[in-house]
């Protein structure tokens, strides 16, 4: 944590907040626990800090060939600031969309903005919006405006949609923990008892596919789209679950891929947050102190140890760069893996 804070102070003193420093400062370290990690992360891999000075970064997504919106770039959320930012190597960070998740209707907590982001097969930005308690779709060039994909289940408003993944068949899966809601007991604005995992079907029908998790958070699909992964951020039951996808879009019985016992072996504690899977099925999940790299079987291969609260990650560039949102930072690591 000391190096984490020190890097921030240095960057701020040099006026590098929200700007592109040259060269980029580095942070943390790569902890190698299994020789297989060497095939995924080069020996000289570094954790670069691309920008800093945010309140809480989340939901990174790489936009490929987005010519109508200015070419290849990264988008990410600052949840408390109700803003989506854009980052490019040339221009650094610029605001992309504000408000991003709360437009002034209803009750919200101290995290009102967008959280998880993805891009669907139609090239639209799909966003989980805390304050407006919905999942939306928006053309990246802004033409046609934003529309709501889902904001309720059986007539009851969601809690605060958190993270989302798009299936190639046109459906979406997302998680709905309470993190965007007022943090108080018996919150009268809460309408759904479960913190569920949901599916939005091709025709817009919403179904709850997982109902027994306490804090579902990050979500991802396997490369063959036959398995749905869900990360739980509950520190009392930190777990990464895998669910087989059925033909109708529902899920079968879940199995634990990795959990508290695996963390304890490494002296770690806390919950999991965002998650991505590479083309070989390895799982890259944000959790205690950084990004944990797991084999498809759930073996702990190594730790991209940033040293502070780490929210989410996404593949970018040619698919081999892992962009990471961590507390007030936007970071990246150049890998030998390939996202998809």
Q: What average pLDDT does the chain have?
A: 91
Q: Distance of CA 311 to CAs 65, 152, 209, 289, 329, Å?
A: 26, 25, 24, 10, 10
pTM beyond 0.85:
yes
**Spatial distance between the Cα atoms of 166 and 117, rounded to a whole number of angstroms:** 10
Write down the pLDDT at residue 77. 98
- pLDDT of 104 strictly over 90: no
Calculate what percentage of the chain has a pLDDT beyond 90. 83
CB count within 10 Å of CB 210 equals 22
Report, as an integer, the average pLDDT of 144-150: 93
* Model confidence pLDDT, tens digit, residues 18-33: 555 558 999 999 999 9
pLDDT cut 70: percent of the chain above it: 90
Q: How many residues does the chain have?
A: 340
Residue 187: DSSP 8-state? -
State the Cα–Cα distance between residues 189 and 163, nearest whole angstrom. 21
- For residue 294, CA distances in Å to 9, 94, 334 come to 32, 33, 17
pLDDT digits (tens, 9 = 90+) for 271-297: 999 999 999 999 999 999 999 999 999
- Joined together, the tokens standing for residue 179 give 């993190």
Better-scored residue on pLDDT, 259 or 105: 259
Does the pLDDT at position 101 exceed 80? Answer: yes
- Tell me the mean pLDDT in the region 98-118: 88
Per-residue pLDDT for 303 more than 90?
yes
Instruction: Give the confidence band of 68 by pLDDT, cuts at 50, 70, 90.
Output: low
Please tell me what DSSP assigns to residue 245.
Answer: B
The whole-number pLDDT of residue 60 equals 98
Report pLDDT for 10: 40
- Is pLDDT larger for residue 62 or for residue 5? 62
Q: Is the pLDDT score of 137 beyond 90? A: yes
DSSP 3-state of 235: coil
Helix and strand totals (H; E) in the chain:
2, 27
Phi/psi zone of residue 204: left (φ > 0), alpha (ψ -120 to 50 degrees), beta?
left
How deeply is 8 buried, as exposed, middle or buried, from its count of CB atoms within 10 A (0-12, 13-18, 19+)? buried
Domains and CATH numbers, the chain: 2-334 (2.120.10.30)
Q: How far apart are the C-alpha atoms of 188 and 198, rounded to whole Å? A: 22
Q: Across the strands, what pairs with 121?
A: none
């Amino acid at each position: 944590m000391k190096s984490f804070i020190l890097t921030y102070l240095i960057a701020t003193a040099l006026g590098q907040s929200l700007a592109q420093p040259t060269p980029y400062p580095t942070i943390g370290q790569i902890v190698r626990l299994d020789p297989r990690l060497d095939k995924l992360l080069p020996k000289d891999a570094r954790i670069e800090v691309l920008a800093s000075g945010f309140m809480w970064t989340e939901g990174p997504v790489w936009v490929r060939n987005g010519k109508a919106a200015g070419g290849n770039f990264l988008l990410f959320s600052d949840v408390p600031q109700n803003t989506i930012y854009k980052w490019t190597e040339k221009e650094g960070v610029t605001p992309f969309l504000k408000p991003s998740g709360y437009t002034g209707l209803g009750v919200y907590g101290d995290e009102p903005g967008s959280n998880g982001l993805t891009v669907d097969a139609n090239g639209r930005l799909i966003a989980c919006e805390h304050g407006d308690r919905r999942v939306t779709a928006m053309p990246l060039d802004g033409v046609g405006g934003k529309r709501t994909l889902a904001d309720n289940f059986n007539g009851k408003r969601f809690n605060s949609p958190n993270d989302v993944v798009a299936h190639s068949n046109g459906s979406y899966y997302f998680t709905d923990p309470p993190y965007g809601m007022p943090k108080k007991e018996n919150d009268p604005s809460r309408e759904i008892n479960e913190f569920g995992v949901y599916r939005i079907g091709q025709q817009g029908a919403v179904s709850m596919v997982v109902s027994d998790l306490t804090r579902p958070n990050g979500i991802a699909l396997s490369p063959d789209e036959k398995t749905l992964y869900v990360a739980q951020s509950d520190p009392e039951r930190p777990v990464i679950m895998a669910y087989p996808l059925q033909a109708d879009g529902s899920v079968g019985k879940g199995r634990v891929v990795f959990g508290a016992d695996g963390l304890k072996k490494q002296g770690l504690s806390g919950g999991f947050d965002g998650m991505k899977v590479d083309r070989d099925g390895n799982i890259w999940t944000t959790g205690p102190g950084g990004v944990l790299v797991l084999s498809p079987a759930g073996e702990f291969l190594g730790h991209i140890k940033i040293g502070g609260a780490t929210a989410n990650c996404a593949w970018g560039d040619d698919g081999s760069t892992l962009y990471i949102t961590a507390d007030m930072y936007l970071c990246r690591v150049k890998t030998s893996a390939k996202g998809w």
